[in-house]
Structure 1
């Protein structure tokens, strides 16, 4: 139901929250202003109507005097001074009536003044019959009661219209003053009736019972209305009344009252005449008229003051409400601005962080409200982002270092692979040459064995035939020639064996050098494996420091460490194999050196045989003479041939050993090639 609020801005929500109270305040303010304005309008109407009160009360006063004169005129039966007094009073009444008519014509009676207007209209209708009543009084066609009733009803309607002015005013003080004023008017009206009743009684020389009772009742009514007046009048008004309505005339009226009351029905009224009574009580009524005018002036003044105060209150209230509404609106706007402005700044900060700007300053972190909590949370987020960026940069840097290290390792692997391949090729080639040389040396040894056997047989034959040397000199020459040829062949074979032994020695030396190079490369690989192991250990430590973010990197570091350990183990195994190969190579070098020495001895023996054959050739002619020497030489040849045969047999055995060592070396080289290939494959895979 309230989901639409989620789509409103915060400032709009604040205005919405304040709307209902503001609406209630506006309605309440409208009611207050309306009521005060209504009071102001009523006060203005009252002031307009109150301005007519002096004319109304003036007309009432003149009608009261005319009523009194008319009563005296009727009581005197048209005789005496009342005729002139009545005529003069009628003129004064006409003037007051003209003023009254002019004033009421100016009044614009609107809402709330219907009763006032009705009383005024009733009074005007009665006043329209005033000329007829005057004529009837002049003709003495009316009794005092009938005459007084007309004037009394007319005056009552006028007084009712004054009382109806309270409908225009709800101000308690003004209403109270009007009530006192109306009570005073009623008391004055009773005084006027008292004047009329007294004028009739004193004018006729005696009070009729009805007139007498009415006279006494009017005095009592005056006192009652004056009591009401005193209860509603202000202290100043009472003081003014007491100061005004006092003196000899008031005392004279009191004395005449006592005379009238004491005269009872038809009793003697003394020497008091009607005009005398009329003049005396009129003087009192005039004093009452002064108080009445003061009261009317007070009512008009207080109504004006109340109207002014009400207008000022209306303006002040409207101004206060307007200011209050403005302050509330301004407060809502300020509150919304104070709330949305930091949120907007915080949103901009978060947007900057989302765009990757981690250098932005987070505003509002020093606040103690929820916005401050949000700002501090954003600050923590920014710091975490900065730390993550640092970690990411460190990881990138580590990755770059790792890539560089991997590239270096790959380059070293390629270099090692190339050098190892070259060394292994040289090693294999040398082992192949060694094998071939050993094979050739074995063949040559077999051939030399055959030749040495032939030489031994020939030597034995020569020894057996030494007795027939002389006879077979030609055959000996041929045999010596054959021996010379065989010796030359043996010499050549020995020379070839010496050459091949030297070549085998050189090849073995090259193989030893290659093995040493491979050992150096293996040492380099060992160093690389140790450095890789250290790097993997450092990476594992850094990954442990990174916590959850470094778990994947820790796994990779562990794998690198394991591969480095395997590389070190493989390198160590290769090193052991190379050490074994180096030992075999050294042993082969020693064997070949021994073979070379034997072959050198064979060569020397061959040269000795050649020299001996030469000597035999040169001494063929002396064979006979030197038979003993030939026998000795033949024995020596037989012995030498036996040594050569033994040397040749030993050379064949050594050749077999060299051949086996070459095969073993070839197998080791193939195994080394496979180990190096596996090592390079594992290293590249890491």
Structure 2
């Protein structure tokens, strides 16, 4: 392409290269500045999103702490504050979702979008978790873990923002902001763990170690923040995070962790929660400051990016203009000198072509390369002019001979002479060359004619030639040897391929039968597993019903225990009443006795009165009879009351024994329910395991069926391979070549004990593995040699396994 261009075009091309470089560099700088500007603009929106996320994390941290205290105190603490905090969390969540409705996630990469979507998906379970917390139906560790996972996912979303920035200062501020958020998150987890611990008034399992870990993590992230952040952020942090709340949190930490006690801390969980919340609110002020500082940094960098775009544009325009002016000046000067040289050469070539009778020499008056070249051309034109005419006749004759050779007549020769010794010598060399070439071409044609008749036994004998003809003869002999070796190898390969195809067909039949038997066994196994799975499910349902009946029995026992307590109390009341009745009967007995005495006195007085006292004597007798009867009745009632009192004391003792029996029965029923629950859990796990085993057996059955199909397909391929091998053997037998009837192969497809020349790579691998297996079985330790598969290209006597 360059050879077809003029010097002017080449100069323009040469000058356009630096111009294009300048333009490309300018475009690259401008484009990079534009990308840098767009990156900062996109970060502006995503930083605003990070502040929304930070606000949501702050509220979920407080909700996590209240939830831990609520669960740790069995619902006695934070029952009034927790609903209000949930409303604050919902408000922050609504604000974030409202911002996301106008937020374009496609600009921020797959990692950012995955973290953001994962956080939103986890937030969908917030209402269910809250319901379980309110009903005390969730473990404290699981509830805290849920909120912690949400916050971790949200903070991971913020951490992916750092990877989006291409500005070092912005990345530094984002990393500092992220480390601060991570430290604040650990403080929030510490609030939740501490609230739960102080509400329980003892450390739960693993909580003390977690307390230590959280404090260490806070300090580590805060140290990272202080190392990465700028001086103004450090100063604001140190001036903000201090005071009574910080000291109180440290004091309560020391009580929990460094007083060698695991319970009875003497710390009110509400006081701990409120105090550490004050400290976290101070951290929130620092978080807000860092977010505002980060936005200011991005805005400042955006202004710098705009300034750089304008500056690069102006400098690039100046550079392009200077390059154009300088290129045009240099090209114009060179073209003037080239034009003079061109006119001189035109006159010279016109003379050579008989267009002019004489030559007008053009001289370039300059000391550069073009001036020197112009003077040198003029000198050689004068020398050449004298010899041109003498050489024209020889050239004409040579052209004639060359045209005949071009048409295939190698027996023609050059007859004209020249005064030029070089041309004369050239003439003799060409004639001798034509003689030698013609003789050797005839020999080669004779051998190639034999090859065309499928007879590859003839070959060219050696001679003293060199160069292309010698190489051509060698190539013909090499072709003969290669064809012979190829035909031998083809026939041997066809024989081996035929043998292997028969073996493969037999093996595929055995594999297909084995796969069918295996499929039948797998079907029986699957049926047995389904029956076992059904039995496990039935056992699980039975244990669930037993657990339900156990709960009902436990409830009935509690009711019976309550009734027994009431019976004991009633027996005590009856005993008190019978005692009172006994006392009243004693009084009646005394009254009856006194009445009897009075009746005796009345009878004596009536007797003293004589006839006038007879009626009174009768009345006195009746009164005495009534008194006696009253005394007897009182005695009978007293006996009955004393007997009732004895029975009441027996009933009270029996009721006490019933209460103790109910307590023991309640404990046994609770133990029985726990055992039933353990059996239920084990049955469910067994059921899940059996489902997995069923799936594995199903997949294995599917694979077995596919193996049977593959074996059938492989058998078909083996049949086709046998046909191809027979075709290869027939084609090889149709040609005549050395060693045709000496090709032999072994009778067996694979023979590990075979030591002959015909090796097969698969046998070498099998034999080496067999030796290594025997070595591993011996007591003598030996290093294992790596198994090496030899390619058929490395050994012409080997056949690659089909």
Please indicate the TM-score interval, normalised by the length of the shorter structure: 0.3 to 0.5
Return the structure number with greater helix share: 1
Structure 2-normalised TM-score?
0.41
Q: More relative contact order in 1 or in 2 (CA 8 Å, sep 6+)?
A: 1
Structure 1-normalised TM-score?
0.48
